[in-house]
Amino acid sequence: MSDREFFVGRYEKLDWKYRPVKLRQAVRFNCFNIGGQDLVSRLCGLGLNLEKIGFLSSGYWVCDSKVSAGATAEYLLGLYSIQEAAAQIPVSLFSNVKGKRVLDVSAAPGGKTVQLADAMGNTGGIVALDISKQRLTALVNHLERCRVRNTVVYQLDARNSPKLGLKFDRILVDVPCSGNFASDPMWFQNRTLEDVTRNARVQREILMKASECLSDDGEIVYSTCSLEPEENELNMDWALHHLDLQIAEINCPGAQGLTSVFGKELDPSIARCRRFWPDTTQGFFVCKLVRRRS
Amino acid sequence: MKGKVIVDFALQFGVKLVFNDDLLFQCEGRFFLLNSNVKSLVRDNFFYAGIYLGKVRSGKFFPSFNLLSMLIEHECNRIVIDRKTSWLFICGRNIFRNSILQAYGKIRQKNHVLVLNELGECLGFGRVLAGFEEQQDNKNSVAIANVLDIGDFLRREREHKNRLDIKQR
């Protein structure tokens, strides 16, 4: 059995039928930099036509374009970022981030870090971590382009985040993951279940260490762009049993998290997670965690 | 004074910047301006923090676009260019006299000027090649040499991608 058949077979066991998808390009406005101007009209004047994404506050589909969205003066001025639609969801799930102290554990290339800074209006402070210096270079270029002012960046393995000796009100655990076939045409050829299992283990370690940095009334948003339950629902089930966390309700589109995975019954609260099977967006999984209330 | 090199750079635009030394950090030749919130998050080994102002390499100062944006908030040497020239400038081209819509400050030979588009957004900066006044009769001559423009972000992205490609090969 090829890897493709193996993974497609798994998806069918999870009640989703595989079909090739064509992703739509999306952008996110950096409202802090835009001020009051009408950026939709301005970009339309360049031949970049946008349509509002209903479930996002500042996300737009690129309908058609005579210019590359990544090569306009407006992009270079940091007025908008190119960011996949589903990838814009995790940051939007935090409540009230203005003035807060926020940790972004696997930050590069920085799309979500910039989104956080924008949502915070450059108030409070963000600590952004990534293990790779090369990826950090991309991150800091992104921060400079988008005029981010409230972020401190460290080259640090996310599993060492407690070493900073800081507590955070909000923590974004957008973990390194196996990805999905919608955003990587060679995904089925390059991925094995062993990769998935290994990534899931690292993700648990990152989540465990991040949770040590969470303040008592803090919030964690956990996300992956993987479709594999080991990296998603099964990791959340593990977190409920091993960490002092519970899953919060979220107001978000997408399918409910799976509570039965390959014959294993999971905690019913995992239905509060959201799973995005590939369609106009890539595959995605998101969950909001808070400290367990006694 | 920690930020002398930055203060000297700003003076070339006719701006006197003053920094609080407690909030100005230097790391491997790069300068960062922090506020108290961000400062509380800084440890010894940070990679980037707060507002990046620029870097010194081989004794020369390279400003960031954040710093240029800070200069706009003051009365400084600046020119406003038309829409077509804005894109050419972003692509690294120099500016002809006849593309300049407005000019403010001391536009004298060798001075630095911020280059703004018609909406007042900073696209970069250039060096005045010859006295602005003396060129009134020669509108087709190059007036401002491009020193730094926001197209630099694209060049950095391309360079980064090339480096990754080489590494993956």
Please report, for the domain that includes residue B106, its CATH number: 2.30.130.10
- B66 and B84 in a single domain? The answer is no
Q: Which domain holds residue A33?
A: 24-83
- A147 and A237 in a single domain? The answer is yes
In a mutagenesis test of the A interface, which of B27, B36, B119, B153 is the best target, namely the one with the most A β-carbons within 10 Å? B153
Residue type, B145: A
Chain A residues with CB under 8 Å of B119 CB are 37
A76, burial (CB in 10 Å: exposed 0-12, middle 13-18, buried 19+): buried
Chosen domain end from A41, A65, A83: A83
Chosen domain end from B38, B55, B70: B70
Nearest residue to A137 (alpha-carbon basis) of A168, A163, A109 = A109
pTM beyond cutoff 0.80? yes
Confidence of residue B137 (pLDDT cuts 50, 70, 90): low
- A207 and A188 in a single domain? The answer is yes
Indicate yes or no: CB of A76 within 8 angstroms of CB of B37.
Answer: no
Gap between the Cα atoms of A235 and A228, Å rounded: 10
Indicate yes or no: CB of A152 within 8 angstroms of CB of B50.
Answer: yes
Closest chain A residue by Cα to residue B117: A73
On whether residue B146 sits in a domain, the answer given is yes
- A53 and A90 in a single domain? The answer is no
On whether residue B162 sits in a domain, the answer given is no
On whether residue A135 sits in a domain, the answer given is yes
- A48 and A156 in a single domain? The answer is no
Please give the pLDDT value at position B1: 74
- A237 and A259 in a single domain? The answer is yes
Nearest residue to B79 (alpha-carbon basis) of B61, B66, B97, B92 = B97
Residues contacting residue A41 through CB under 8 Å, at least 6 positions apart: none
Indicate yes or no: CB of B43 within 8 angstroms of CB of A164.
Answer: yes
On whether residue A184 sits in a domain, the answer given is yes
Residue B9 has pLDDT above 90, yes or no: yes
On whether residue A37 sits in a domain, the answer given is yes
Chain A residues with CB under 8 Å of B123 CB are 73
- A175 and A78 in a single domain? The answer is no
- B31 and B86 in a single domain? The answer is no
Chain B residues with CB under 8 Å of A76 CB are 90, 150-151, 153-154
| Facing A138 at nearest CB: one of B37, B117, B160 | B160
Domain total of chain B: 2
Annotation says A252 is catalytic: no
Is the CB of residue A116 less than 8 Å from the CB of residue A152? no
Gap between the Cα atoms of B15 and A149, Å rounded: 21
Q: Give me the catalytic one of A213, A225, A273, A287.
A: A225
Q: What is the DSSP string of A95-161?
A: S--TT-EEEETT-TT-HHHHHHHHHTTT-SEEEEEES-HHHHHHHHHHHHHTT--SEEEEE--GGGG
Chain B residues with CB under 8 Å of A143 CB are 48, 52
- B18 and B59 in a single domain? The answer is yes
ipTM computed for the complex? 0.93
- B97 and B59 in a single domain? The answer is no
Residues contacting residue A61 through CB under 8 Å, at least 6 positions apart: A24, A25, A26, A50, A51, A52, A53, A85, A280
Residue B134 has pLDDT above 90, yes or no: no
What ranges make up the beta strands (E) of A14-98? 26-29, 48-52, 59-65, 80-82
Mean pLDDT of B61-68: 97
Residue A134 has pLDDT above 80, yes or no: yes
| Facing A76 at nearest CB: one of B51, B69, B150 | B150
Q: Which domain holds residue B18?
A: 4-70
- Strand B60-63 to B51-57 pairing: antiparallel
- B55 and B90 in a single domain? The answer is no
| Facing B46 at nearest CB: one of A139, A147, A154 | A154
Please give the pLDDT value at position A292: 87
State the distance between the two ends of chain B, measured CA to CA, in whole angstroms.
46
Chosen domain end from A83, A103, A132: A83
- A262 and A204 in a single domain? The answer is yes
Domain total of chain A: 2
- B81 and B148 in a single domain? The answer is yes
- The nearest CA of chain B is from the CA of A107 a distance in Å of 13
On whether residue A142 sits in a domain, the answer given is yes
Is the CB of residue A90 less than 8 Å from the CB of residue A223? yes
CATH number where A172 lies: 3.40.50.150
Please give the pLDDT value at position B133: 64
Closest chain A residue by Cα to residue B119: A37
Please give the pLDDT value at position A105: 97
Chosen domain end from A37, A64, A83: A83
In a mutagenesis test of the B interface, which of A144, A146, A169, A213 is the best target, namely the one with the most B β-carbons within 10 Å? A144
CATH number where A74 lies: 3.30.70.1170
On whether residue B164 sits in a domain, the answer given is no
Please give the pLDDT value at position A112: 98
DSSP state of A264: E
- B85 and B150 in a single domain? The answer is yes
Mean pLDDT of A213-223: 97
Cα B63 to chain centroid distance, Å, stands at 5
- B127 and B112 in a single domain? The answer is yes
- B11 and B66 in a single domain? The answer is yes
What ranges make up the beta strands (E) of A20-74? 26-29, 48-52, 59-65
- The pLDDT mean for chain A works out to 96
Nearest residue to A149 (alpha-carbon basis) of B16, B69, B159, B162 = B69
Please give the pLDDT value at position B161: 78
Closest chain A residue by Cα to residue B65: A144
- A120 and A63 in a single domain? The answer is no
Chain A residues with CB under 8 Å of B69 CB are 147
Residue A85 has pLDDT above 90, yes or no: yes
- A176 and A285 in a single domain? The answer is yes
Please give the pLDDT value at position A87: 97
Indicate yes or no: CB of B47 within 8 angstroms of CB of A141.
Answer: no
Closest chain A residue by Cα to residue B45: A154
| Structure confidence by residue, pLDDT tens digits, B108-119 | 888 999 999 999
What ranges make up the beta strands (E) of chain B? 24-27, 30-33, 48-49, 51-57, 60-63, 78-81, 95-96, 100-104, 112-116, 122-128, 142-149
Is the CB of residue B124 less than 8 Å from the CB of residue B115? yes
- A134 and A185 in a single domain? The answer is yes
Chosen domain end from B17, B39, B70: B70
Residue A119 corresponds to which tokens in the numbers above?
């949502």
- B64 and B95 in a single domain? The answer is no
- B50 and B18 in a single domain? The answer is yes
Please give the pLDDT value at position B159: 83
Q: Please count the other Cβ atoms lying within 10 Å of the Cβ belonging to residue B74.
A: 12
3-state secondary structure of A181: coil
For A248-265, b/e burial (b = at least 16 CB within 10 A) is bebebebeebbbebeeee
| Structure confidence by residue, pLDDT tens digits, A176-201 | 999 999 989 899 999 999 999 999 99
